Amino acid sequence: MNSLSPSEKRQRNDHGRRGDPPPAPEPLPAPVLDSHTHLDLVGGDPDHWLAEAAAVNVTRVVQVGCDVPSSRYGVDLAHRNRAVLATVALHPNEAPRLGDRLDEALREIEAMAADPRVRGIGETGLDHFRTGEDGREAQERSFRAHIAIAKRYNKVLVIHDRDAHADILRVVDSEGAPEHVVMHCFSGDASFALECVKRGFALSFAGTVTFTSAAGLREAAHVTPLDQVLVETDSPFLTPMPYRGRPNNSYLVPLTVRSLATAMGVDLTELCDAISANGERIFGPW
């Protein structure tokens, strides 16, 4: 079993990214939030990047955990900087890597879940792209445990779904969803979007919605109601066009929001206001 954690693997993968950070885009006409970022992987001073984001009207972020160390990082940062809220979890690919240490790690995640600056349990879910058949039982057991934690502590469930749409719905339907569910980096088509919308989930769109090849994703955005949409970076990954492949950060959210407004056929300011209202309703006040 590979000994690297998901966050360590992602840091290693990011070493191959090319170029300097892109220039800041035109500020948005109203404030929004980045519903999913990994400032621990971005590098540098997080306060600097948060200030860069605020300068373009991205005034709040949700720092997302994917293992025990990154979850602790998020809790600490959220206590230190009021623009940040945290989520805590074991990434789906972390569960099979942990083996017989999974239960211990889940107990550590649950202990952090009680913190008032922790507003979500995630990113958890299923990943059929990187985890093969031999690891899927542990992955699903971890997902079900995270759902239970989210319901016990009345936290948002933040779902990672890669090539696992049907199984995500099967598990959530069988366990029963908490009050709020966010589909992180939504990757399905319009049909799957409607299934999620029907269940009351929020769909969080990343820079992928700007990619030329993502017509199906833009169709999914078009059928998503304004009161169920969020936007995210998943930084330092999934950098929006025209900077795909360069380092991503929350200050680039305006590029995604503008593309999303076009795909949804809504006014830009109206979309910004909806994203902010949805973020406050789902995650609570910052």
Q: Which of 228, 165, 241 is nearest to 202 (CA)?
A: 228
| pLDDT tens digits along 55-77 | 999 999 999 999 999 999 999 99
Q: What is the pLDDT of residue 133?
A: 85
Q: What is the pLDDT of residue 8?
A: 52
| pLDDT tens digits along 103-151 | 999 999 999 999 999 999 999 999 999 888 888 999 999 999 999 999 9
**All structural domains of the chain:** 27-283 (3.20.20.140)
Strands (E), the chain: 32-37, 58-64, 84-88, 118-127, 156-162, 181-183, 202-205, 229-231
* Chain centroid to CA 245: 19
Q: What is the pLDDT of residue 135?
A: 86
Q: Which of 27, 30, 25 is nearest to 270 (CA)?
A: 30
Q: What is the pLDDT of residue 18?
A: 63
Give the Cα separation of 164 and 210 in Å (integer): 22
The series of mean pLDDT values per 10 residues for the chain, 286 residues long, is: 49 55 97 98 96 98 98 98 98 95 98 98 95 91 98 98 98 98 98 98 98 98 98 98 97 98 98 98 98
Q: What is the pLDDT of residue 7?
A: 53
Looking at the whole model, is its pTM more than 0.75? Answer: yes
